[in-house]
Chain A
Amino acid sequence: MTNPLFQKDIISISEFTREHIELVLQTARELKEHPRDDLLKGKLIGVTFFEGSTRTRLSFETAINRLGGRVIGFADASNTSLGKKGETLADSIRIITSYTDALVMRHHMEGAARLAADISPVPVINAGDGANQHPSQTLLDLFTIYETQHHLDEIKIAFVGDLKYGRTVHSLAEALSLYNARIYLVSPESLAMPQYILDHLSAHNIKFSVHPTIEEVIPEVDILYMTRVQKERFDETEYQHLRSKYILNAAMLTEAKSNMKILHPLPRIDEITLDVDASPHAYYFKQAANGVYARQALLSLVLNKEI
């Protein structure tokens, strides 16, 4: 039977059903346990990063190489016809997708991946379009939550830090609304979760609450999802004041449940102190490693009728 993601564009997590998510997670698990080097054999994938992102690009390229595929592309657009000669994005996409079997694309403008998908004859995988979507990040987050908790339904998860601009938390919250999650929100008031996300959660009967400190949610949750509060969004005095509230250190973890894991989309700057790394709760580096398996799963499903 043809898998439902075969030849499909992967642009937004909002287009995923529970069945799609579970298919990706199951495939990622199988590929992690039983690596395959043949699923992209003979396939050429365009990996085009119009905006730089080292971890995401290397993770996709690793996934493609591990599966036996080959890669063409670029790590930033400054040296391309688009960057240097003023070619439109649409024309660049038309050319690149005439060479390749699929396109992985990152771009700084929201909607760029959708435009690419609308004009590309081959599947497009969105590796991040501005502040909008980054579906492979959401899928690797879900894979990691499943791996550590053995279920997704009714997960108790706290989102900490920049909830206003962080597309990672927006998309993950949206995906978890399919799983009746209990969501705890911890952020400065000026970086609170946008109203439209809260409306989405309410529409799906997802229970959420807002908390002023990390400490009060730590004993409650299965997943503590940390994000970076960006220094440049505040003046120095305000930032120093916030630091104490939104920085996690090892001493704060004494009340955590034994199954609780700390995730972070990385890069981590100073919101998780180094002493947390040795804690059994720390899982963010394994989460980053899982990015390869989640992306292997996506690419395999998009380019193979059956696996």
Chain B
Amino acid sequence: MTDTQISQDKRLVEAIANGTVIDHIAPGQAMNILRLFKFLGKGKKNRMTVGFNLRSGDMQCKDIIKIENVTFSPTETEQLAILAPNATINQIANYKVVDKYKLRLPPEIIGAFTCPNSNCITHVEQDATPRFKVSKLPNGQVMLRCHYCERVFEREVILKTNGLES
């Protein structure tokens, strides 16, 4: 990788005035995050730049998304963590990084995804906010267990049900 290439990628991250840069997204996952933005209604009027398969110092390849004038609530951050467990969030204000943290799988995720089980009480009762315990199998597979119906789903099934195919 040349210095010019790194500098170009870095500029891509730094060029935002206010908003959020999601960096170190596993290659290919940026499309799914864009679907999540659509799901959350984030992408409507805000300027976005998306980089696919950019060179990265510590990853062979990565995707980057920058979205202006948008921040993420804790629930939305949990959703992002399920989609891109190792990505980094950079909060930008006035061209400067004011907060930076790595996404981690939360132990529990509340109100972020609907339950794939169509006979789960969460589909009919407003008091039953969808809630999943998150765990990781020894082979790395992320599983989510519904607090109410107790069904256990692979991460991919949850994402597919919520229109966020991985």
Interface residues in chain A, defined as those with a beta carbon under 8 Å from any beta carbon in chain B: 12, 14, 88-90, 107-112, 114-115, 118-119, 129-133, 196
Residue of A nearest to B148 (CB): A111
Number of interface residues of B (CB under 8 A): 17
What are 22 contact pairs spanning A and B, CB under 8 A? A14-B150, A88-B125, A88-B126, A88-B127, A89-B125, A107-B121, A109-B119, A109-B120, A109-B121, A109-B124, A110-B151, A111-B121, A111-B122, A111-B147, A111-B150, A112-B121, A112-B125, A112-B148, A114-B147, A114-B148, A131-B119, A133-B150
Residue of A nearest to B137 (CB): A199
> Quick check: is B117 within 8 A (CB to CB) of the other chain?
yes
**What would 4 more interface pairs be, CB under 8 Å, given A14-B150, A111-B146, A114-B150?**
A112-B121, A112-B125, A118-B127, A129-B149
Residue of B nearest to A196 (CB): B152
CB distance from A51 to the nearest CB of B (A): 12
Which B121-137 residues have C-beta < 8 A from chain A?
121-122, 124-128
Residue of A nearest to B149 (CB): A110
Consensus secondary structure, chain A interface: mixed
| A115–B119 touching, CB < 8 Å | no
| B120–A111 touching, CB < 8 Å | yes
Contact of A110 among B126, B127, B148, B152 (CB under 8 A): B148
Residues in chain A near residue B128, CB distance under 8 A: 90, 111, 115
The 10 A-B residue pairs with the shortest CB-CB distance in the complex, in nearest-first order: A111-B148, A110-B149, A90-B127, A111-B121, A111-B149, A109-B121, A115-B128, A112-B121, A114-B148, A111-B120
Interface residues in chain B, defined as those with a beta carbon under 8 Å from any beta carbon in chain A: 117, 119-122, 124-128, 146-152
| B150–A132 touching, CB < 8 Å | yes
Residue of A nearest to B152 (CB): A196
CB distance from B127 to the nearest CB of A (A): 4
Inter-chain contact total with CB atoms closer than 8 Å = 59
Are A115 and B150 CB-contacts (below 8 A) given A110-B117, A110-B119, A110-B120? Answer: no
Residues in chain A near residue B147, CB distance under 8 A: 111, 114
Contact of A90 among B125, B146, B149, B150 (CB under 8 A): B125
| A119–B127 touching, CB < 8 Å | yes
Residue of A nearest to B146 (CB): A111
Residues in chain B near residue A196, CB distance under 8 A: 152
Residues in chain A near residue B125, CB distance under 8 A: 88-90, 112, 115
CB distance from A88 to the nearest CB of B (A): 6
Residue of B nearest to A131 (CB): B119
| B148–A115 touching, CB < 8 Å | yes
CB distance from B134 to the nearest CB of A (A): 16
CB distance from B122 to the nearest CB of A (A): 7
Are A115 and B149 CB-contacts (below 8 A) given A109-B121, A130-B119, A131-B119? Answer: no
| A130–B127 touching, CB < 8 Å | no
Residues in chain B near residue A111, CB distance under 8 A: 120-122, 128, 146-150
Residues in chain A near residue B150, CB distance under 8 A: 12, 14, 110-111, 114, 132-133
Residues in chain B near residue A90, CB distance under 8 A: 125-128
- A133 and B120 alpha carbons, distance in the complex (Å): 12
CB distance from B91 to the nearest CB of A (A): 34
Residues in chain A near residue B151, CB distance under 8 A: 110, 132
Residue of B nearest to A12 (CB): B150
Residues in chain A near residue B126, CB distance under 8 A: 88, 90
Residues in chain B near residue A133, CB distance under 8 A: 150
- A86 and B88 alpha carbons, distance in the complex (Å): 46
Residues in chain A near residue B119, CB distance under 8 A: 108-110, 130-131
Residues in chain B near residue A129, CB distance under 8 A: 121, 149
- A107 and B149 alpha carbons, distance in the complex (Å): 12
| A132–B127 touching, CB < 8 Å | no
- A299 and B148 alpha carbons, distance in the complex (Å): 23
- A107 and B119 alpha carbons, distance in the complex (Å): 11
- A130 and B123 alpha carbons, distance in the complex (Å): 14
